[in-house]
Structure 1
Amino acid sequence: MRALLVMDVQEAVVARYPDPGYLPRLAGAIKKARTAGIPVIHIAVGFRPGGPEISTRNRMFGRLAGSPHAGGPNPIHPEIAPADGDVIVTKRRVSAFTGSDLDLVLRAQNIDHLVLTGIATSGVVLSTLREAADRDFELTVLADACLDNDPEVHRVLVEKVFPMQAAVTTVSEWQPETVAAVAA
């Protein structure tokens, strides 16, 4: 069974990656998934109040260690807000698996194929793809439903790196099988 992962599409993150076409494309992927009966799982980075799980040695999050600003996840962007039945997973590092219960959620639902989307291509998408591949998940990346602040890095990842471990396609080309069709 497949699941669509919508990773780090939180208000504060989207604000740092200006692309007016991104959220509508991502919303299209979410609509396709829901129409096909594919679970949508939102991944959001977040920490406990004060960030006790953040090391000052962590270059990505270390500035938040001990900060009163460290806390629950920043809200998911309202244009792709979770619907009833969507799962929200809070992670503690770059990969969607690290410090989260994502693997438990996937295995409980017999999900063995992940469709990856999110911000940033060189961050959460890359880290999650590598870890998911090592955990033997089948993988699809929706290239235009991923976003990076460096277009060249995005291009190299989706054209050269990701195809070694995943099928790479676009939202318009993605044809999710319906759950009923898969079960038949």
Structure 2
Amino acid sequence: MAKKKKSIKGTRTEQNIVLAYLNESQSYARYTFYAKQADKELYFPIGVIFRQTAENEFNHAKVFFKMLEGGVVDAKVPTDAGIIGDTATNLKISMGEEANAGVKGYEEAAKTAQEEGFPEIAEHFLAIAKAEQHHLDRFTRYLKMVEEGTVWKRDHAIRWQCLVCGYIFEGNEPPKVCPGCDHPYQHYMPLDEDD
């Protein structure tokens, strides 16, 4: 006979899961908004990064949602009721969210889950904290590039891919105009290992 799974109802772990679900859902929406802003500023590769991260956050939300056991759980969720800023500002806000609600918050939630006897939930929190650290690192790199004007410049040759037609070019910078589709360099995504 299978052992009955321990309920999370009424635990701090349940509260942490609800907060994680709601925070991830907010992040999905926020990063989708930020992607559109990056596109408006012609930072198409950063738009791609925001969309990829939004998709990750959507899937994190699903993981946490599936851990819940139904019913209604009251939760006070800090909400960034901010304004969509320029891409540099949006990257800074994203870095703060990833560092605090993501990495630090999930490490603390994992500790609580472990203390309350939910080792599998703790493992999920720790694994997702690692994903959030990757998001933080990537946002940090792109903010530095935006601030230094090096989104499309490297000190060594790398591969660049046109986001429109898929043409791949190797050099320190992408071509000013894509030879495949005539779109400007802003449509190129770096393919170096840091991205």
**Structure 2 length-normalised TM:** 0.27
The structure richer in helix per residue is 2
Bigger Rg, which one: 2
The structure richer in strand per residue is 1
**Structure 1 length-normalised TM:** 0.28
- Bigger RCO (CA 8 Å, 6+ sep): 1
